[in-house]
Every structure is written in structure tokens, then in C-alpha cells.
Chain A
Amino acid sequence: MSNEAAALEERKYWRIWAILVSLPLMSLAAQQTGLGWLAITVSLVVMLTSTWFAVTTWMHVHLEPRYIPYLCIMGLAGMFMFFFMVSPDVMNHEGNNWKNPSANAPAHIERPVDPLKPRGTGVEAHH
């Protein structure tokens, strides 16, 4: 690689660095507005964009053999499988042939709650 080509390549890395530093600042600005939905939306976009930039331009995943991205996608698939298999048990208080009585414990005990329902003591559920 010639010196000019190398300098050009390094300038590209600095540009990506500038993007990756400014993206979290956008998230910070969104959070400081106090609008929860805006912070969540911007965070999701920034998380995915930053990851895309880092993985493609710094880790050069597209230059690796095709099975490498597949290997990483399999890891992600495992994570999603875990999430969708476990989350119903964590976020619901009862299901087919099971109940989670501790979820209806008094309010001072930290417990999972249904964000769509108003919070109570949990005692009403038994009556």
C-alpha cells in the first residue's frame, strides 16, 4: 500500500470515529429533551447504526468468509430464542397449569408488574 493510499485509509477511519462519537451525543440530546419515546427511538437507531458502522468498517466482517457473519447471526438467534422462550414466564403472572403467587405479593416487595395495569397491593387479585 502506498503512503497516499494508507493516509487516505486512515482519514476514512477518523471520519468513522467522528460519526461514532457524534451518534451517542445525539442519544444524549434526545434524552435531555425529557421525551421518553424520543429517547427510546433515537437510542434504537443510534445503537443499530453504531453497531453497523463498527462491524462493517472496523471489524470488516464483509471481508471475512461468509460463514463468519452466519456464526454471529446464530449467536444472535440464540439470544432471541432465549428472550422469547423466557419472557412470557417473567412478564406474565400465570399461564397454562402454572401461577406465580409471589408476583401478587404486597407492594413493598419488588416484583414484576403489568405496565398496562394500575399498580395496587396485589391483595385485590385474590378476592
Chain B
Amino acid sequence: MSGQIIATGRSAAGMPTGKLAVWMVIASEIPIFGGILASYLMHRIGHPDWAQMTAGLNVWIGTFNTALLVTSSLFAMLAHAAAERGNGPLAAARLRLAAYGGLVFLCIKAYEWYTKISHDHVPQTGTFYGYYFSATGLHAIHILAGVAILLAIAAQAEKGKHLGRVELIGIYWHFVDVVWFFLFHIFYIIR
């Protein structure tokens, strides 16, 4: 055999293999994030005194980060629309904007963590901070991975290659956005 065969679609699945993989990743992520949040909620109900600690979180920064992530998701969606029209360079530019949104989100999150840690609020301080750092840290890792993939796919899209992947990273990026909706409300809004 001279050519390498790469499976891009399966008739039994009814969708491209990559897309199926992304949805399987998302389906497996739901119990991970959901488990952390459900576990936090059951402890939160049992600890009314945690209200003082949630009050220490900066709700304005949380709201700004939410708007930032939603805007970043919008650019991922617009990149998908451009890719569907076969406009690789435009899709790449929009994917990069989405990635920059994710990077700014991470910088703001790092600042938030820095202020918490500088006030001796570390995971060992108590269960609340254990949950806070675990949940937001796991989410930040997902953002970091998403930014790397967004930039990698943008580099391919710029050359007009693998435009189908623009949609795949978009689905993942929207999921990360949805997770943040829950984190934002459960940690920052509900006190």
C-alpha cells in the first residue's frame, strides 16, 4: 500500500469521526465537572458559614470573565461560519480572536488566584478553597488546552487545510463556556 488511510467518517456513527470524538470527550467531561459541582453544592448546603468565603470572591471580575468567555465563544462560532463558506483566512483570524479571549481570561484568573494566595487563601486553608481552586483550576486547564488547539487549528485554517476541524474546536470551546456559566453562578453569585 502506498497511501496512508485515515478514517474521517464512519457510516455507522452518522457523523465524522472527529466530531464523534469531541462529543464523547464532552459526555465524559459532564460527570467530571458535574461531580465537582454537585459535591461542592452538597457541602455548601451543610456549611452556611461558607457564605463569608464566597463573599470574598470578586463578583465583578467573575462577571467580566463570563462576558469575555461568551465573546470568545462567539468568535469561535463566527469562525465556523467562515469555514463553512470556505474562507480559511477569515476563519483563522476569528479563531485567533477566540484564543486571545481565552488567554485574557486565564490572565484575569491568574490575578484572582494571586490575590487569594497572597491573603493565605490556599486549598489547604479549608474545604471551600479546596473546591474553589480545584474547580476553577480544572476549568483553567481546559481553557489552556482549548487555546492551544484553537491556535493550532487556526494555523491550518489559514492555509485552507482541515476546515472541518474549526467546527470541532468550536463545540469544545462552547462546552468550556457552558461549564463556566455554572462555576460563575455557583461560586460567585450564590452566597
Q: A residues near B, CB below 8 A?
A: 1, 6, 9-10, 13-14, 16-17, 20-21, 24-25, 27-28, 30-31, 36, 39-40, 43-44, 46-47, 50-51, 54-55, 58-59, 64-65, 68, 71-72, 74-76, 78-80, 82-83, 86-87, 90-91, 110, 112-115
Question: Once the chains bind, are A75 and B31 in contact (CB under 8 Å)?
Answer: yes
B47 within 8 Å of A (CB atoms): yes
Pairwise interchain contact A27-B189, C-beta atoms closer than 8 A: yes
- A80: chain B residues within 8 A (beta carbon): 38
Given the complex of chains A and B, what is the CA–CA distance between A110 and B35 in angstroms? Answer: 22
- Report yes or no: A86 in contact with B39, Cβ–Cβ below 8 A: yes
**A114 CA / B45 CA spacing, docked (Å):** 8
Known: A17-B70, A20-B70, A74-B27. A51 touches B178 (CB 8 A): yes
B28 to chain A: closest residue by CB: A75
Closest Cβ–Cβ distance, residue A108 to chain B (whole Å): 12
What is the total number of residues of chain B having a CB less than 8 Å from a CB of chain A? 52
| Interface assignment of B115: CB less than 8 Å from any CB of chain A | no
CA distance A91 to B66 in the complex (A): 31
In the complex, chain B residues 147-191 whose Cβ is within 8 Å of any chain A Cβ: 170-171, 174-175, 177-178, 181-182, 184-186, 189-191
- Chain A residues with Cβ below 8 Å from B47 are 110, 112-113
Contact present for B127 and A78 (CB under 8 Å) = no
Question: Is B108 an interface position by the 8 A CB rule?
Answer: no
Is B122 engaged at the interface, CB distance under 8 Å to the other chain?
Answer: no
A87-B63 contact given A13-B81, A54-B178, A79-B30, CB 8 Å threshold: no
With beta carbons under 8 angstroms apart, the residue of A17, A71, A90 that contacts B71 is A17
Question: Which listed segment binds A: B1-9, B72-80, B135-143?
Answer: B72-80
CB <8 Å contact, B43 and A90: yes
Question: How would residues 14 to 29 of chain B score, 1 for a CB under 8 Å from any chain A CB and 0 otherwise?
Answer: 1100010001101111
Contacts of A74 in B (CB 8 A): 27
Number of A-B residue pairs having CB atoms within 8 Å of each other in the complex: 142
- Give chain B residues whose Cβ lies under 8 Å from the Cβ of A91: 42, 45-46
Interface presence of B34 (CB below 8 A): yes
> Contacting A40 at CB < 8 Å: which of B35, B59, B126, B190?
B190
Kindly list chain B residues whose C-beta atoms are within 8 Å of the C-beta of A110: 47, 126-127
Task: Across the A-B interface, give the 7 residue pairs with the lowest CB-CB distance, nearest first.
Answer: A75-B30, A79-B34, A112-B46, A83-B38, A17-B74, A43-B185, A71-B27
Nearest B residue (CB) for A3: B85
Q: How many angstroms from the CA of A80 to the CA of B39 in the assembled complex?
A: 10
